[in-house]
Structure 1
Amino acid sequence: MKVVLLHFCFTEYTVELANGLANYADVTLIQPEKLKADCQQVLDPRVQVRNFAKPRIRDPRNVLAMAEMMRLIREAQPDVLHVQETNDFWYDLTLLFNKMPPLVTTIHDVFRHPGDRDNVPGSEYTRRIAFYKSQALIVHANPLKQALVQQFRVPGDRISVLPHGEIGTFFQKWSEGVHLPREPHTLLFFGRIWPYKGLQYLVKALPLVAERFPDVRLIVAGRGQNLEQYFPDGYDPRQFEILNEFIPLKAVAGLFERSTVAVLPYIESSQSGVAAVAYTLGTPVIASNVGGLAEMVNDEQDGLLVPPGDVRALADAIIRLLGDRELQQRLSAAGLARCQTDLNWSNIAAQTVEIYQRAIARAQR
């Protein structure tokens, strides 16, 4: 089987999927030129790579970029085209007006997150083209499938739910063998700092945690706007380590290795790449019991779930985990075990190939 993977973002996810698929298919990865450097040293050598120049979203030269993208797809002559959802209306319109090979699309987020400033005007409507043009859709949680069926009238038999595979391996490769020691009372909030991530609840919970563990420390790592709103009176650098910037790929694994727990206090969630990193690196997870997180994290088995927006419950869970070494070890071991089972890319790739086969059969009807 010849597979073309096309992506404009979700690099770590796409690389690990390509590496897994290389055991089952002839894989070609097509991507914007700017993503080339992020993939080079971590891709399986069996994966062929084709790059194309992609201007900024408002540049009319995107017409030429889409023409080149289509040329590369046709040149590869795939049995199936698998696309990671885009935030790019140029691609969406190209999909609308061109005949495509049998098409599979992974929808990471059915709806844009509240406060997501990366949303491109108009794409919220044009991206729906992929919902209906695809022979098969992949999502990472049952609530996303339900939303596609109930609100967008997508037939349920075209939607498959697959877990979000572990992506810590991607960052481990970038760390080049450098490992950092675990810090006993360090918490990690990682990723884009948008309102739906619930950072304010974690900041409010920290003084409660400090009553029990005075040396508790929170790392806030990721880009976000108006970070000052969380610290109107400033912050104590002994208690907070603020990295309000894009985290270099080679530094990501070290942040998780240093931390006793990764905290995901989201108030809305579709799925979580952060948990998928934490499990690989043996970092226990505390997360909100909301959306796809409630399926990603198995409460009391490989993580702890708390009600979203509940500062006291969040603080209690953190205190419990920091004070119980045996619980830390049990959750860490369970997360690592999942990276060899349902979150393992070889297993996910095998299930994905079955979806490809159904998509090809559906396209031939």
Structure 2
Amino acid sequence: MGRIALVSGQASPLMAPSGLDAGSLNVYVAALSAALCGLGHDVVVYTRRTGPRAPSRVRTPAGYEVVHVLSGPPKELSEDEATVRVADFARSLRADWHRKRPDVVHAQGCLSGITAVLGAHDTQVPVVQTFHALAVPHREPTVERLLAQTAAHVVAVRTDEADDVVSMGIPRAKVSVIPHGVDLALFTPHGSVAPRDRTRRIVTVGRLLPHQGFDDLIVALSTLDHTELVIAGGSATGHLRGDAEVRRLRALARVRGVASRVAFTGHVRYHQLPALLRSADVVACTPRHGSFGVTALEAVACGVPVVVTAAVGLLDAVAHDQIGLRVPPQDPRALAEALNRLLTHTTRRALLVAAGRERVRARYSWDRIASEMAQVYTAALS
């Protein structure tokens, strides 16, 4: 494999993650690009220019190049505003690819897929598509179906996503499942640990949204003694004070008598996340639907056992009673029982952590992810 072009219009690998979501597209593109370079590939990432002073091209320390494409005004745009500029972006790609043709193009997200297909239209360069998130429920995925039909190959990040693509009429042989990876140099049991006061600590991570199931955790906490719950993540408004979801969760904590044992950290920088995870006795991931499961894997890589809901995405990441415990979504009683089981059984925690770390190292290293991706690129060329 020679030159690989990644199109990530709305998520630059040079930007910090916009939210406390380990599945952030920024992190994914940066880590995949670096790992591909580590395997000897020439990687160029194309993203929108969002600042007037951003250089046209940047060579990163990891070896990949970032091209800032001028597509509309050099500022952050909404998805609707960026959609209007797709043709401009595609023309820039086409011009660059005529000067130096890539061997394969990998589009990140639906909008980037449209841009990549238009840009590669007359170049005969195969396009590999990763959606990361398919159409919202109750909407016919017409655009996604057309992209999947046009693409040389589709890479799904979860098994259920692959099933959804196949349900669109795409041959199973044209679809691969390659999950998000884990930065095993950053997420490790060794390193700084965030300070703590209580005897036992549960940590949960995610945007402060109702579907995350943080209210279930607060209810479960009310049955656990000498335990604190730390909720790490930014709010929809960007500020904890005055946020409706924060008010709702704090009111629930007061009603349940655990207000003094529930702490909200707000947004935590990605490089500071390992220290917070290491400070926990258990990390809980309790979404009611849709999750990449990466936070759970990062916790396990840090040497911390996890309790997760049997939500889509986490089913792939966490095998029950092998690297963590799974409970039904929206079941605070089952959640409390699972948390108590790990909080009170040190030996069980140690066994899960040992098995989990081995699993994460074997399956979710970025070197492994990049190697599998390179095989997909080779197949797309043929």
Structures share a fold, TM > 0.5?
A: yes
CA distance in 2, matches of 1:296, 1:64: 38
User: What amino acid is the match of 1:180?
Assistant: V
Structure 1 residues 182 and 128: alpha-carbon distance in aligned structure 2, compared to 1, 3 A threshold: farther
* Residues 217 and 332, structure 2, Cα contact 8 Å, conserved in 1: yes
User: What amino acid is the match of 1:81?
Assistant: V
CA distance in 2, matches of 1:156, 1:229: 44
CA distance in 2, matches of 1:82, 1:237: 47
Partner of 1:148: 165
Equivalences for 1:107-146 in 2 at 5 Å? 107-112=131-136, 126-146=143-163
Equivalences for 1:70-109 in 2 at 5 Å? 70-86=94-110, 88=111, 92=114, 95-96=117-118, 99=121, 101-109=125-133
CA distance in 2, matches of 1:304, 1:328: 10
User: What amino acid is the match of 2:43?
Assistant: V
Structure 1 residues 224 and 165: alpha-carbon distance in aligned structure 2, compared to 1, 3 A threshold: same
Structure 1 residues 348 and 326: alpha-carbon distance in aligned structure 2, compared to 1, 3 A threshold: same
RMSD of equivalent CA atoms = 3.3
The reply on whether 1:240 has 2:262 as its aligned counterpart is yes
User: What amino acid is the match of 2:318?
Assistant: V
CA distance in 1, matches of 2:248, 2:42: 49
SS in 1 for 2:326: strand
Structure 2 gap ranges (5+): 12-24, 238-243
Q: CA deviation at 1:293?
A: 1.0
Structure 1 gap ranges (5+): 115-121
Structure 1 residues 72 and 97: alpha-carbon distance in aligned structure 2, compared to 1, 3 A threshold: closer
**Percentage identity across paired residues of the two chains:** 22
CA distance in 2, matches of 1:335, 1:280: 7
* Residues 28 and 49, structure 1, Cα contact 8 Å, conserved in 2: yes
SS in 2 for 1:314: helix
Q: How many residues align?
A: 341
Structure 1 residues 327 and 355: alpha-carbon distance in aligned structure 2, compared to 1, 3 A threshold: same
Partner of 1:223: 235
CA distance in 2, matches of 1:46, 1:93: 24
TM-score (norm 1): 0.81
User: What amino acid is the match of 1:218?
Assistant: V
Q: CA deviation at 1:285?
A: 1.5
User: What amino acid is the match of 1:222?
Assistant: G
Structure 1 residues 233 and 140: alpha-carbon distance in aligned structure 2, compared to 1, 3 A threshold: closer
Q: CA deviation at 1:330?
A: 2.1
Partner of 1:162: 178
User: What amino acid is the match of 2:131?
Assistant: I
Equivalences for 1:142-291 in 2 at 5 Å? 142-150=159-167, 152-167=168-183, 169=185, 179-180=192-193, 185-209=200-224, 213-224=225-236, 226-227=244-245, 228-232=247-251, 235=254, 238-244=260-266, 246-291=267-312
Structure 1 residues 6 and 62: alpha-carbon distance in aligned structure 2, compared to 1, 3 A threshold: closer
The reply on whether 1:4 has 2:19 as its aligned counterpart is no
Q: CA deviation at 1:32?
A: 3.2
SS in 2 for 1:243: strand
The reply on whether 1:49 has 2:66 as its aligned counterpart is yes
